[in-house]
């Protein structure tokens, strides 16, 4: 059922929304009652909320201000990265960042931890956020923040999203070390490590495919549409069926996983009898653009 849902754009949008809710619930239910701080931009928003509460007396009991601050901090990041990440991805980012901020602000925070053991709460929270965030990214969406910058640099230089998140959180935990108890920093570090491990396991953006298309259409229409609609290069050569002896054209291109369905749609729309082979996990070194979504 999950695989069939992921094959449609509407299904991926639904799965991404579910991932957002899982993330927000994991943060509010498991980590916030312990007064711990999540990694990424939400961690910065939570620190800002605590500082304003403890030092300036600014506290709102009806909602979690971290969700509001998260959205405010996201605005300049989205303005910086939207042009390079594409219009469709930018629009989805605005929508899911809004949903994440709203859910985090409104999901009730328990007065006491739901589990007595802090380490268990940390691990459960990390599982929720890692799996939820991974679903969002796998569906070609984002909730902004460190993810947005991580995807931006993943496209530019190929840095894994989780690894970038680890580096980006160093300043956050240095601040936590000086502002709060050391145990807060320790548990937050454990949370970050588990979250990023799960995130990289879930996130499939940088899995590359080498696609071969065997077709009897030799008028250049298929390769033209592939290059026009995906921006990918295509290499062509002539082949011959060993059994039939008939001439055919072989097309080869390298894409990311999100683009496979688009390639199949293009090819089958022109030649329903074309034969397609997709080889996953190939190593690519050269002029290959790392896109963040199929758009």
Residue found under tokens 């190939």: 282
d(CA 84, CA 90): 9
247 DSSP β-pair partners? 240
Question: In this predicted structure, what is the pLDDT of residue 277?
Answer: 92
Of these ranges, 1-15, 87-101, 122-136, 162-176, the one predicted with the greatest mean pLDDT is 122-136
211: pLDDT confidence band, cut at 50, 70 and 90?
very high
Q: Which residue did the predictor score with more confidence, 86 or 100?
A: 100
C-alpha distance from residue 78 to each of 19, 71, 102, 166, 284 (Å): 20, 10, 17, 20, 29
Helix axes 182-202, 161-168, angle to 10 degrees: 160
Please report, for residues 46, 175, 277, the alpha-carbon distance to residue 267 in angstroms, rounded to integers and kept in the order given.
49, 53, 12
Q: Which of 3, 206, 95 is nearest to 11 (CA)?
A: 3
Structure tokens at 209: 């495919």
Q: What is the pLDDT of residues 16-43, one digit of tens each?
A: 899 999 999 999 999 888 877 777 788 8
* Average pLDDT for the chain: 80
pLDDT of 159: 66
DSSP string, 149-189: HHHHHHHHH---HHHHHHHHTHHHHHHHHHHS-HHHHHHHH
What percent of the chain clears pLDDT 70, i.e. is strictly above it? 82
| pLDDT value for 276 | 93
**Is CATH 3.30.70.120 the classification given to domain 208-280?**
yes
Cβ atoms < 10 Å from Cβ of 232: 19
158 or 91: which carries more pLDDT confidence?
A: 91
User: Which of 40, 74, 68 shows the shortest CA–CA distance to 52?
Assistant: 68
Q: Domain residue spans in the chain?
A: 2-202, 208-280
Q: What's the average model confidence in pLDDT over 190-214?
A: 77
Residues 6+ apart with CB under 8 A from 146: 39, 40, 41, 164, 165, 168, 169
Which pLDDT band holds residue 293 (cuts at 50, 70, 90)? very low
- pTM (predicted TM-score): 0.68
């Amino acid at each position: 059922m999950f695989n069939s849902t992921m094959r449609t754009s509407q299904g991926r949008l639904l799965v991404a929304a579910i991932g957002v809710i899982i993330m927000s619930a994991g943060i509010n239910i498991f980590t916030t009652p312990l007064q711990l701080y999540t990694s990424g931009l939400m961690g910065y928003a939570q620190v800002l909320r605590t500082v304003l509460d403890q030092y300036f007396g600014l506290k709102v009991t009806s909602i979690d201000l971290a969700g509001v601050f998260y959205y405010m901090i996201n605005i300049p990041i989205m303005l910086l990265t939207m042009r390079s990440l594409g219009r469709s991805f930018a629009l989805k980012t605005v929508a899911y960042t809004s949903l994440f901020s709203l859910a985090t602000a409104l999901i009730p925070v328990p007065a006491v931890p739901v589990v007595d053991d802090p380490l268990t709460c940390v691990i459960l929270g990390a599982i929720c956020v890692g799996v939820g965030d991974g679903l969002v990214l796998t569906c070609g969406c984002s909730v902004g923040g460190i993810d947005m910058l991580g995807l931006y640099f993943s496209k530019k230089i190929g840095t894994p999203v989780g690894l970038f998140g680890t580096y980006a959180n160093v300043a956050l935990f240095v601040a936590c070390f000086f502002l709060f108890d050391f145990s807060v920093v320790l548990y937050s570090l454990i949370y970050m490590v588990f979250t990023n491990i799960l995130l990289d396991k879930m996130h499939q953006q940088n899995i590359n495919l080498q696609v071969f298309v065997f077709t009897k259409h030799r008028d250049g229409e298929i390769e033209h549409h592939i290059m026009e609609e995906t921006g990918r290069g295509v290499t062509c050569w002539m082949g011959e069926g060993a059994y039939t002896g008939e001439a055919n054209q072989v097309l080869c291109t390298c894409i990311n996983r999100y683009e496979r369905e688009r390639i199949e749609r293009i090819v089958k729309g022109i030649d329903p009898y074309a034969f397609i082979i997709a080889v996953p996990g190939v190593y690519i070194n050269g002029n290959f653009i790392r896109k963040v979504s199929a758009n």
